[in-house]
Amino acid sequence: MSHIWKMVFKRLGLGFLTLFIVSLLIFLATELLPGDFAQEFLGQSATPETVAAIRRQLGLDLPMHIRYIQWLAGVLHGDFGTSLANHRPVIDLIGGRLGNTLFLALYAAAIAVPLSLMLGILAALFRNSFFDRFVNASALTSISFPEFFVAYILIFWLAGMGGMFPSMANFRGDPNFLDMLYRTFLPAITLTLVVTAHMMRMTRAAIINLLASPYIEMARLKGMTPMRVIVRHALPNALAPIINVIALNLAYLITGVVVVEVVFVYPGLGQLMVDSVAARDMPVVQAVALIFAAAYVLLNLTADVLATLSNPRLVHRR
């Protein structure tokens, strides 16, 4: 097992290096945005003198590399700076919203991952049957529509006409856990519809890819049922690609849900990111982008470790 720990530490180190490079890219990208906070804040009619004054006050007039080093030094101490827009510490702004984003992502994943695994296995079992085609066609249909369209359709049917679920997913009035599940049901279902197709099709493909293997033929010649052949003999060998595609989709659930958050007025990180970019509130943009990058790095690391653990040839060396 020691070589697995070695791999984890090596990958963590590389992850930090990646994050460092990402931080540089984020900083450069925000610099490339036209205008800065001072201009956005004061609007069209501001005089050059007041703009310059605000810049000086906020330290925006310093050369880029100095601002980067100052920011990076802060981040390394856990200080993401203060928001330019409302002067609150960035960490406070992000804290609650990060929780909300993770809650919604986990909620959607808890539905989508088991569902897509099950559908993928069944589609592989009944490959080329009507069921297989139906599942594939539905999954492709749901992934082909833009998220906001799926969201509005769900709102129309489940919130508007039936009135079963709320169309706005906010957490006003300190709801309990079940209440939260109820209020965020529609966004979770929307996200499920968006990510299921990818995972389900990968599961199906990874399993079918193995069906020509000699050990699958052997299992059939041992008189095993088709279900057992798929679940017991093909699936364990197909885990690595499936785990990777799940990790990719989880990362998407954390970082790519802006549209869904906007439609359902859900207070998540995505909305915060978009608002802050519009206001040129750079400390917030940088912090959120860094969190997104960290989510990708961590999920991919987890996926690699799990994929390694799923392969006895890598765990139990000769």
Angle between helices 282-309 and 2-32 (to 10 degrees): 150
Site for other proteins in 155-214 (CB under 8 A): 212-214
CB 33 within 8 A of CB 280: yes
* Residue of 59, 114, 146, 312 that binds other proteins (CB under 8 A): 312
Q: Which is nearer to other proteins, 173 or 223 (CB)?
A: 223
State the minimum distance, in angstroms, from the CB of residue 204 to other proteins.
Answer: 17
Cα–Cα distance between 239 and 90 in angstroms, integer?
Answer: 39
> Is residue 128 a contact residue for other proteins (CB under 8 A)?
no
CB 183 within 8 A of CB 170: yes
Site for other proteins in 268-297 (CB under 8 A): none
45: number of Cβ within 10 Å: 6
State the minimum distance, in angstroms, from the CB of residue 129 to other proteins.
Answer: 15
Cα–Cα distance between 45 and 143 in angstroms, integer?
Answer: 45
Residue 235, beta-bridge partner list: none
Site for other proteins in 236-275 (CB under 8 A): 236-237
Closest by CA to 254, choosing from 219, 281, 291, is: 291
> Is residue 318 a contact residue for other proteins (CB under 8 A)?
yes
* Residue of 70, 86, 144, 225 that binds other proteins (CB under 8 A): 225
State the minimum distance, in angstroms, from the CB of residue 212 to other proteins.
Answer: 7
State the minimum distance, in angstroms, from the CB of residue 219 to other proteins.
Answer: 7
Tokens of 135: 């599942």
Cα–Cα distance between 117 and 202 in angstroms, integer?
Answer: 9
Residue 144: alpha-carbon gap to chain centroid: 19
* Residue of 220, 241, 290, 307 that binds other proteins (CB under 8 A): 220
> Is residue 316 a contact residue for other proteins (CB under 8 A)?
yes
State the minimum distance, in angstroms, from the CB of residue 236 to other proteins.
Answer: 4
> Is residue 96 a contact residue for other proteins (CB under 8 A)?
no
* Residue of 11, 55, 127, 228 that binds other proteins (CB under 8 A): 228
280 Ramachandran zone, left/alpha/beta (phi>0; psi -120 to 50): left
Q: Which stretch binds other proteins (CB under 8 A): 84-92, 95-103, 231-239, 288-296?
A: 231-239
Cα–Cα distance between 162 and 150 in angstroms, integer?
Answer: 17
Contact set with other proteins (CB under 8 A)? 212-215, 217-225, 228, 232-233, 236-237, 310-313, 316, 318
